[in-house]
Amino acid sequence: MVVLPLSPVMRTRIMPQPPLLLFPTHYLGNLVLGLPWVLRVLERHNEAVAVFDASFRPLLSMLPEADSRALYYPRKELATDKGFTHRLRHYLGFLGELRKYKGHCLIDMEGERFSGAIARFSGCRRRIGPLAKRARWFYSDVLDLDYLAHRYNAFGEIIGDYGAGEPPPSALDFKVAPELADRMRVLLDGHRVNRPLAVIHPGASVRYKLWPREHFARLVRNLYDAGLQVAWIGAGRFDADVIAGIERELENRQLRDSPAIDLCNRLSLPELVALFRQSRLFIGCDSGPMHLAAAAGLPVLALFGPSREAIWAPLGEQSTVLRGELPCADDCDAWHCRNDYHCLRSLTPDMVLARIAALSETGAAHS
């Protein structure tokens, strides 16, 4: 999918103060979709500062223009398993750093209650945020954003005149250090990878986004027979369980060896970017790694079911959303479907393989 144009209704704002972008999301997909706008603002405004979740610092270190102007929200240090004194010390320390920029115009790109509270405590007189419960208490300027448009557009809408002009490219120019690229080559050599690599993330944040494991098993077998090496990626117990289920399906097909290598829970985000740089294509469900692969420039085949393509499709001219042939019922949503989400189940491995063949013919897939 190509980068979408912004809504024609944009708010004109006076910009007497440098911007302070509050963007401590812990969702990888949201981060990737909002980063082009953050980088646009940092490029144009020398005094601009951005706030990110500290867990993303290794990834943002690959974008020096963002990392060098960043404050990091210590989410892990505020977890409930930490002692009260520990949490209070880290939260007050973060607020102390944030309040050094109280002369800035704060823009809450996250729009959650915790970020609204941070905005309120920031000391900034001008605080811009999205319409939500208690928004009038959190912000001085409340905007009713179009959340039915692509989330990339919503981020551009709240940035407003600070990022005015043509929408920034959705691709992100990650700097992969030579030693990181070498480390990834050593890892792949250790798995005796001597074929073009197809990276597959079969997991997702919620179950209704999952493609059937028997579909993945058949797809992987056919990709291997077509000369591609498959690598599983993922993070956490849920993704690992999904991959284990697919591997059991492959065993049931009486394959002597798995045609895929398992890199789940083995890669940091920088290593994942380095892997994408050495891969032919990405296949996966609606997820954060899907958006990261697209932003890193890898051809992406996104397997969509109930997810709203208009909001969450991967961006970039090399990204394609694939859907099944059967539509869901009118009352189908993310939490309920009387047709058992056959919109996703009716997307067959043959349909995915046909699209991969088309990419190969046009030369769209990485060589």
Q: What distance in Å separates the CA atoms of residue 125 and residue 162, rounded to the nearest whole number?
A: 17
309-366 pLDDT per residue, tens: 999 999 999 999 999 887 776 776 666 776 667 778 889 999 999 999 988 776 656 5
Express as a percent the part of the chain with pLDDT over 70: 90
Q: Residue 244 to residues 95, 202, 272: CA-CA distances in angstroms?
A: 43, 11, 20
Q: How far apart are the first and last CA of the chain?
A: 21
Residue 266 per-residue DSSP state: S
* 29 contacts 288 by C-beta, under 8 angstroms: yes
Res. 16 pLDDT band, cuts 50 70 90: confident
Q: What distance in Å separates the CA atoms of residue 31 and residue 23, rounded to the nearest whole number?
A: 8
Largest CA distance in the chain: 68
- pLDDT at position 12 is 44
pTM over 0.75: yes
- Reference 315, options 150, 205, 160, 175; nearest CA is 150
Q: Residue 93 to residues 71, 86, 100, 107, 110: CA-CA distances in angstroms?
A: 11, 11, 11, 21, 21
Residues 126-153: what's their mean pLDDT?
94
The domain 19-163 is placed in CATH, from the list 3.40.50.2000, 3.40.50.150, 3.40.1800.10, 3.10.350.10, at: 3.40.50.2000
244-267 pLDDT per residue, tens: 999 999 887 655 567 899 999 999
Average pLDDT, the chain: 91
Contacts of 231 (CB under 8 A, 6+ apart): 193, 197, 198, 199, 200, 260, 261, 262, 263, 275, 279
Answer whether CATH 3.40.50.300 is correct for domain 178-362: no
* Strand duo 260-262 + 19-22: pairing: unpaired
pLDDT over threshold 70, residue 14: no
20-62 pLDDT per residue, tens: 999 999 999 999 999 999 999 999 999 999 999 999 999 999 9
Q: Does the fold of domain 178-362 match that of domain 19-163? A: yes
**Domain extent listing, the chain:** 19-163, 178-362
Q: What distance in Å separates the CA atoms of residue 202 and residue 235, rounded to the nearest whole number?
A: 11
Residue where the block lists tokens 């704060």: 106
